[in-house]
Structure 1
Amino acid sequence: MSYPCRITYAPKAVADLAALVQEIEEAIEEALADPYGGLSVERPAGGGRWDRVALIGPFAMRYAVSDAPGIDPPTIAITRVLP
């Protein structure tokens, strides 16, 4: 916006946003059940097998998998969720 303003959310809008967050979280958890499989691919710009991109519904998720020996439990760090 080109001018200062305050944005407020009606209770229904907050509920809509909360439902969307829940939907995205469920899709992410489903995609990460097999972090190297499904619709997951190595990030096109490089970064190696651990730097991944997966499709989750209408979104793309970028994440890194840390599962080398000695890392217990393995860690998945989600770095971006893009429309």
Structure 2
Amino acid sequence: MSYAYRVAYTPEARADLIKLGEQLAKTVSAAISAEIAPAPYGGLSVPRPMGGGEWDRTALVAMSAVRYVVSDGEGVDPPTITIVRVINRGAS
């Protein structure tokens, strides 16, 4: 089944992006839209280490670790990917 996922960001994820600086934040956001949004269970995505289930995932995107939750069960319209955290080791 193919979904058109909506991407949302928690306040913590927005703060993480701000810490990256404008240019890198744009790059990471664009990569999230290009790599995670079309197929949140594919690519470099894995269920979150230490549990959380298939819906709670991490992925490597534009050299950043992205933690996100997928909400696409029955009755969820539109299906949503909520970005929980964005971690970039190069950010100060």
Counterpart in the other structure of 2:17 = none
Q: TM-score, normalised by structure 2?
A: 0.69
Larger-gyration structure (1/2) = 1
Counterpart in the other structure of 1:14 = none
Q: Which runs of 5+ in 1 are unaligned?
A: 1-16
Counterpart in the other structure of 1:36 = 41
**Superposed CA RMSD:** 0.9
Give the one of 54, 68, 79 matched to 1:49: 54
**Paired residues of 1:50 and 1:64 also in contact (CA < 8 A):** yes
Q: What is the alpha-carbon distance in structure 1 between the residues aligned to residue 84 and residue 22 of structure 2?
A: 20
Q: How does 1:3-82 map to 2 (within 5 A)?
A: 17-32=21-36, 33-82=38-87
Q: Identity over aligned residues, as a percent?
A: 52
Q: TM-score, normalised by structure 1?
A: 0.76
Displaced runs of 4 or more, over 3 A: none
Q: What is the alpha-carbon distance in structure 2 between the residues aligned to residue 30 and residue 58 of structure 1?
A: 14
Q: Which runs of 5+ in 2 are unaligned?
A: 1-20
User: How many equivalent residue pairs?
Assistant: 67
1:21 maps to a residue whose letter is A
**Does 1 or 2 have the higher relative contact order (CA < 8 Å, sep 6+)?**
2
SS of 1:55's partner is strand
